Structure 1
Amino acid sequence: MRRKLFSYGAFLLAFAMIAAACGDSEPAAPPETVIVTETSIVTETSVVTSVVTETVVAENPLAGTSVTVFGPESSDTEAGAFQAALDLFAAANDMSISYTGARDFSDQINVQVAGGNPPDIGILPQPGKLADFARNGDLVALPDDVTELVQSTTPEGLWSLGNVDGAQYGIPTKADLKSLVWYRPADFAAKGYTVPESWDELNTLTDTMIANGDTPWCVGIDSGGGATGWPFTDWTEDLMLRFYGGDVYDQWVMGPNNGGIGFSDDRVVAVFDAIRNLWDKPAGTYAAGGTIATTLFGDNGPPLQDGTCMMHRQANFFASFFPAETVYGPDGVDVFYFPPVTADIQPVLGGGVFPVAFQDRPEVLAVMEYMATADYANARQRLQKLANGGGADTVSGFLSPHLEADQSLWTPLEQSFLSILAKAELFRFDGSDNMPTPVNAEFWRSATAFVNGDIDAATATANIDANWP
């Protein structure tokens, strides 16, 4: 077990330092340590004791160090808030931490690791990739005290995804609720539409909207890089849960060579076709980029807000892609639960990210430990709300799974997201993110070709199955 290198009391100093930089107060003095030396001399008649007190400047083991962090969050809102939260810790410890976000992170991190030049810390959204890296010896296991912190302050269903063969490598710092449909209640009310409560009702609503001259869906699956296609995988996962339940879903994630089922299973093929049949309805989909495959998933916020389309299925983090002045709730943009097939099964699909350490240096592990704290979660939420407008009702797009985070920092809408995640009777993590990296990557590629109409569902699923180890 490694010795703790710093105190989180220093985190509070960061806020004081920032406040001082913005005001007239003097910068905080460097930390001091009082050293007391006691010397006793024993003679035949007495004991003479001399006490010397000396004040010295304490050594900061993190001072002057630097840490690089690389991850998939690349929007100004998400990447900016993440960097700002890291800056607080860096300022408190006289170090530098630089974050780089890229839409094609999943491709870049593979190249960097293979080339022997990974970042100090990577933010992995895929537990399957995390397990691959860990078993290849690319990652550094967390020290015992950090492992204890992670496992005592986050739900087991999440921290266990960062645990490989009994060692904790990843920290669940961000949770995503994916089973959501974004819409504008006022538009629904004006048109006489009601929120669907089943998959059949959702399809009926889609047809009704088209008949009324409204475009039901905004859809885009472009991510701006090698992960293009992932929104289709989310739809697939949500429908696999809804159509067939948790057991079949788990068998699908397991894969055909490990006692499970493959993509070529008739049930998976049926889900592929169900999605494209919905999206391909004439006048049923708006794609800002011209086609679904060339529309960035985040570009669907403005057309939803201005009424160009009526619905968009996307996770809670989609809030980061609306304009800063967006109003949320009944009087603005709101969400409804992506409906199940039947009321007796109400599944929830989720996701998240896991910081992992590629380098075994004290400063790297110090930053990892910071990201495992409620201090980080609270700072990230405050800063992301500020980036999104800063109002009391601002939805940040960031959810923390930390059990000791200050819940009052999240709006009632966001707290409802957290409540759904916490109370879900049937919860599953993003299935493709739990699959081996080659399978996940081919899922993206073949899904994109399928959406474009270049290949059919049978070919797409066979392509994916060819990549199972």
Structure 2
Amino acid sequence: MRRTGRIIRKRRSPDNHVTTPRSRPAVRAAAALAAGALALSLTACGGGDDGDDDKGGGTGGTENTVTLPELDGASLEVAAVWTGAEQANFKKVLAEFEKRTGAKVTFVPAQDPIINFLGSKIAGGAPPDVAMLPQPGAVRQAVEKNWAKPLGAKARAELAENYSPGWQDIGTVDGKQYGVYYKAANKSLIWYNAQVFENAGASEPKTWDELLTAAQTVYDSGVTPFSVGGAEGWTLTDWFENVYLSQAGPEKYDQLARHEIKWTDPSVTEALATLAEIWGKKDYVAGGASGALQTDFPASVTQTFTGGDQPKAGMVYEGDFVQVNIGETEAEVGTDAKVFPFPAVGDAPPVVSGGDAAVILEDSEAAQALVTFLASPDAARIHAGLGGYLSPNRNVPASAYPNDVQRKMAKALVDAGDDFRFDMSDQAPQAFGGTPGKGEWKALQDFLKNPRDIAGTQARLEADAAAAYGN
């Protein structure tokens, strides 16, 4: 299950890698999203409506805002790496499309890396009609392999109506629109067990030093501070990106994302040393390094919110989608499970985002209709109401989200407009930033196991990056 920034508009470099303009003021990006993120402190937030419906995810709209064709007898396959509740919720969106068109839609569970999965399906002559691709690099790769088909006029019209130019741009390759970013994420949040914090006398931190203080306070109360889903390397890249963005700053972040500076750069040394203050601290990670490396992402969440005030850990880092997994426990978001923005390591707190784009592989009226539906507020409204989901669609009403927490997160995302930074590993070639057991995922898993080996980790990261980027 690949999860999907700090928000900034992307362009393409001559070598086809995703790039970001150097001239865009980083402070504006930070202010737009950080201001929204800072409103996410859940001390006073529960599941009720705060009466602010028109100020959240968009401008509202009627129940059905898009006209869909009659597709009786048509069948479609949609592939995604989503599992568990995330998959179940998406299937409810697909069920509404079936109801409105008469088409039959089958969800096809995919494995990471999804490009490899799709390659095998295409080689076997059975590609899915639509795939949800979790990286801009994967969208470009699908285009370069002649797998992806351009969006039709109706899908493009929905995008123009509902999405900011920046979100349209990251689904564009060589001037043609291929992707609809149906799902987005704010990946700069730390969730905590409220009873653990209350018992320990810990408070929500705003800086890295305050986070270390809170962790020690939780530890002194008898609870391990952090749960880390190290079995899935993407969670570790997200940890690194938040520390690096805040500490090194957006210019360096952009340069490292493009491999214009090496992973042996002193700024990377500093970020890894900072991570080691948690990953390398004895008894700060549930199960130790070996236990964390056997803990997948869902378990890293559920073990933080089960066991009452004696869970396996007091805090877990990851994005807004953590709510889906909290829903599998008895904890309630806003009361038992609360959240604070990832603390500032440097001058400003980081906000990192990502997303999943719907891309057509088998062009047909039905496939075009489905992607048009996914670009509309209608589809996003259904998914939003189920929790654990954010849409970059600016015309999804705030009232669609089930609680004040998600309304604030959606507002922060939409209010950022075109000022956003995307997940760094998602911008990298998939061989480096998106493959289990390889590249950045594997190097950071090894670093979690041995946080003293900063120089060796940097050397491995640089060797793998150089091979993947071809420089």
SS at match of 1:123: strand
User: What does 1:78-227 correspond to in 2, within 5 Å?
Assistant: 78-104=86-112, 106=114, 107-113=116-122, 117-222=126-231
- Quote the residue 1:304 is aligned against: 304
> Is 1:412 aligned with 2:404?
yes
Q: Structure 1 122/412 Cα, relative in aligned 2: closer, same or farther at 3 Å?
A: same
Q: Structure 1 362/291 Cα, relative in aligned 2: closer, same or farther at 3 Å?
A: same
Kindly provide the amino acid, as one letter, of the partner of residue 86 in structure 1: L
Cα displacement (A) at 1:314: 0.7
Cα displacement (A) at 1:82: 0.9
Q: Structure 1 12/154 Cα, relative in aligned 2: closer, same or farther at 3 Å?
A: closer
Cα shift readout 1:233-283 (whole Å, capped 9, x = no counterpart): 11111111111111111111111xxxx113222222332343244112111
Cα displacement (A) at 1:351: 1.0
Preserved CA contact (<8 Å) 2:66 2:378: no
Preserved CA contact (<8 Å) 2:65 2:376: no
Question: Alignment partner for residue 451 of structure 1, among 441, 448, 451?
Answer: 448
> Is 1:328 aligned with 2:333?
yes
Q: Structure 1 61/328 Cα, relative in aligned 2: closer, same or farther at 3 Å?
A: closer
> Is 1:429 aligned with 2:426?
no
CA distance in 1, matches of 2:177, 2:65: 27
- Quote the residue 1:462 is aligned against: 462
Cα displacement (A) at 1:339: 0.6
Cα shift readout 1:372-410 (whole Å, capped 9, x = no counterpart): 11111112233xx2xxxxxxxxxx111112111121021
CA distance in 1, matches of 2:382, 2:289: 35
Cα displacement (A) at 1:300: 2.1
CA distance in 2, matches of 1:203, 1:112: 47
Q: Structure 1 115/276 Cα, relative in aligned 2: closer, same or farther at 3 Å?
A: farther
Kindly provide the amino acid, as one letter, of the partner of residue 458 in structure 1: Q
> Is 1:318 aligned with 2:322?
yes
TM-score, normalization by structure 2: 0.77
Q: Structure 1 424/211 Cα, relative in aligned 2: closer, same or farther at 3 Å?
A: farther
Kindly provide the amino acid, as one letter, of the partner of residue 436 in structure 1: P
CA distance in 1, matches of 2:96, 2:154: 22
CA distance in 1, matches of 2:113, 2:78: 12
Moved more, 349-358 or 439-448: 439-448
> Is 1:376 aligned with 2:368?
no
> Is 1:253 aligned with 2:257?
yes
- Quote the residue 2:365 is aligned against: 362
- Quote the residue 2:72 is aligned against: 63
- Quote the residue 2:282 is aligned against: 282
Kindly provide the amino acid, as one letter, of the partner of residue 100 in structure 2: A
Cα displacement (A) at 1:61: 5.5
Q: Structure 1 114/156 Cα, relative in aligned 2: closer, same or farther at 3 Å?
A: farther
Preserved CA contact (<8 Å) 2:136 2:426: yes
Q: Percent of pairs identical after alignment?
A: 27
Cα displacement (A) at 1:74: 0.9
Preserved CA contact (<8 Å) 1:273 1:457: no
SS at match of 1:269: helix
Cα displacement (A) at 1:285: 0.8
Kindly provide the amino acid, as one letter, of the partner of residue 282 in structure 1: K
Preserved CA contact (<8 Å) 1:174 1:353: yes
Q: Structure 1 117/275 Cα, relative in aligned 2: closer, same or farther at 3 Å?
A: farther
CA distance in 1, matches of 2:239, 2:138: 21
Cα shift readout 1:49-101 (whole Å, capped 9, x = no counterpart): xxxxxxxxxxx7621011100001111x2111111211111122222001123
Q: Structure 1 365/468 Cα, relative in aligned 2: closer, same or farther at 3 Å?
A: same
CA distance in 1, matches of 2:290, 2:230: 12
Cα displacement (A) at 1:132: 1.6
Q: Structure 1 203/116 Cα, relative in aligned 2: closer, same or farther at 3 Å?
A: farther
SS at match of 2:421: strand
CA distance in 1, matches of 2:449, 2:212: 21
Q: Structure 1 302/10 Cα, relative in aligned 2: closer, same or farther at 3 Å?
A: closer
CA distance in 1, matches of 2:223, 2:239: 22
Kindly provide the amino acid, as one letter, of the partner of residue 400 in structure 1: S
Preserved CA contact (<8 Å) 1:74 1:103: no
CA distance in 2, matches of 1:304, 1:159: 37
Kindly provide the amino acid, as one letter, of the partner of residue 376 in structure 1: A
Cα RMSD (Å) of the superposition?
A: 2.8
CA distance in 1, matches of 2:265, 2:122: 34
Preserved CA contact (<8 Å) 2:323 2:333: no
Cα shift readout 1:93-135 (whole Å, capped 9, x = no counterpart): 2220011234535342343346554311110110111112113
Q: Structure 1 289/254 Cα, relative in aligned 2: closer, same or farther at 3 Å?
A: closer
Q: Which has the higher contact order (CA 8 A, sep 6+)?
A: 2
Cα displacement (A) at 1:463: 3.3
Cα displacement (A) at 1:286: 0.6
Larger radius of gyration: 1
Cα displacement (A) at 1:348: 0.9
CA distance in 1, matches of 2:398, 2:276: 39
Cα displacement (A) at 1:231: 0.4
SS at match of 2:304: helix
